[in-house]
């Protein structure tokens, strides 16, 4: 069999907990234990799992493969799961039932699979297991924790709208640290003084670069086919405002990446903007912002930077016994 190369594709790792709604499975595990959970999954093997928080994003992303040649997709989605192969069967059958073109998976019984991300050329890993996501980010890998309940998805709509926060997501949190220690005025002075100095790239910059590559392929298609309608749209939604906006725009340009739209909100509630913008996924490093956006928008927490490191350390279990108690059912069944 010929080697299947991943180098020139956008590769996403997805946990079953991000792709599907596993509420019922969780309840069985919590109330009846691991063995009952395994029996439940076997009994419901042919019962298709309902879409989860990241399902609309993944479905639309995979639909963009019609821009590539047959057998040579632009996008590859791979399941990264703590399930063992037996309990993972229902996940793979559900993927097939929903018509998703996902054929590759890594099942690691009770262990986090994020360490395989570099080997699989992944520019993003999504999971509902917060611990797995934090471990991945601390290891320097691009990962996000999906939040909230699944949202309704219009299956007739083929557009894909992706929104990013800037600091701590596309860029590092260096300027956020200035704000935290010196306040707004010091932050503004710092950003104006360094307006010509691009930020260091953050965890999802390469993901945006790969999204841009698909957007360029769309533009080529539009030039060849006047009837083609652009489907992929990217927006920046940040708490920055003038004059700090200039450094953000310049950084994107220096990195060689682009966004279609930008919202410099200066503290305005992002949740209200999301109700109108309606992205299919939004990435932010601050849970305070996501508390409002996740009510109406598939939202992802990127636990990157000093503030998130401090928050993570505050929730570390005090002993192995406590660690076991704090594990969610997903630790055994495949987040």
Interval 98-136: pLDDT, tens? 999 999 999 988 788 999 999 999 999 999 999 999 999
Find out whether 333 and 83 touch, Cβ atoms under 8 Å. yes
Half-sphere exposure of 335 (CA within 13 A, CB side): 24
How confident is the model at residue 64, as a pLDDT?
97
Positions of E strands within 225-305: 232-238, 261-264, 281-284, 299-301
- Choose the weakest-confidence range: 96-105, 149-158, 224-233: 149-158
Question: What's residue 180's pLDDT?
Answer: 86
Tell me how far apart the alpha carbons of residues 217 and 106 are, in angstroms, rounded to a whole number. Answer: 29
φ/ψ of 205, rounded to 5, equals -60, -45
Cα Dmax for the chain? 63
Neighbours of 227 (CB within 10 A): 5
Q: Does this model's pTM top 0.85?
A: yes
Give strand ranges (E) for 160-269. Answer: 160-164, 232-238, 261-264
State how far the alpha carbon of 99 is from the alpha carbons of 55, 58, 62, 93, 102, in Å. 12, 12, 10, 10, 9
Lowest-confidence pick of 24-38, 189-203, 296-310: 24-38
Which pLDDT does position 85 carry in this prediction?
Answer: 85
Res. 223: pLDDT tops 90: yes
User: Are the CB atoms for 172 and 251 separated by under 8 Å?
Assistant: no
Task: Domains for the chain: give ranges and CATH numbers.
Answer: 10-149+314-333 (3.40.50), 160-303 (3.40.50)
- Cα first-last separation, the chain: 30
pLDDT attached to residue 314: 59
What string of DSSP letters covers 35-60?
A: HHHHHHHHHTTTSPPEE-TTHHHHHH
- pLDDT tens digits for 21-46? 988 887 887 888 778 878 888 898 99
Q: Give every CB contact of residue 299 below 8 A, 6+ residues apart in sequence.
A: 53, 146, 147, 148, 281, 282, 284, 290, 293
d(CA 33, CA 277): 42
CB 160 within 8 A of CB 185: no
Q: Are 151 and 297 in contact (CB under 8 A)?
A: yes
């Amino acid at each position: 069999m010929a080697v299947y190369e991943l180098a020139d594709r956008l590769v996403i790792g997805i946990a079953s907990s991000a792709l599907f709604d596993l509420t019922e499975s969780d309840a069985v595990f919590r109330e009846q234990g691991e063995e009952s959970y395994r029996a439940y999954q076997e009994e419901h093997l042919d019962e298709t799992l309902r879409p989860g928080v990241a399902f609309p994003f993944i479905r639309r992303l995979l639909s963009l493969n019609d821009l590539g040649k047959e057998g040579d997709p632009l996008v590859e989605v791979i399941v990264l799961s703590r399930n063992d192969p037996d309990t993972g069967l229902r996940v793979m059958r559900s993927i097939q039932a929903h018509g998703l073109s996902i054929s590759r998976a890594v099942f690691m019984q009770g262990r986090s699979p994020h360490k395989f991300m570099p080997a699989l050329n992944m520019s993003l890993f999504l999971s509902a297991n917060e611990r797995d996501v934090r471990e991945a980010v601390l290891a320097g890998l691009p990962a996000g924790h999906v939040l909230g309940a699944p949202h309704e998805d219009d299956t007739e709509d083929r557009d894909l709208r992706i929104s990013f926060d800037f600091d701590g997501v596309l860029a590092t949190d260096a300027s956020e640290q200035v704000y935290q220690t010196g306040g707004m005025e010091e932050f503004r002075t710092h950003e104006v003084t360094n307006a010509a100095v691009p930020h260091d790239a953050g965890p999802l910059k390469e993901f945006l670069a790969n999204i841009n590559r698909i957007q360029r392929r769309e533009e080529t298609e539009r030039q060849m086919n006047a009837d083609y309608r652009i489907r992929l749209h990217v927006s920046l939604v940040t708490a920055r405002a003038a004059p700090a906006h200039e450094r953000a725009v310049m950084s994107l340009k220096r990195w060689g990446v682009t966004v279609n739209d930008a919202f410099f909100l200066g503290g305005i509630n992002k949740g209200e903007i999301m109700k109108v913008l309606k992205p299919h996924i939004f990435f932010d490093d601050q849970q305070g912002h996501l508390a409002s956006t996740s009510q109406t928008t598939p939202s992802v927490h990127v636990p990157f930077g000093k503030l998130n490191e401090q928050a993570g350390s505050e929730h570390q279990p005090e002993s192995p016994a406590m660690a076991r108690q704090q594990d969610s059912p997903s630790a055994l069944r495949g987040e």
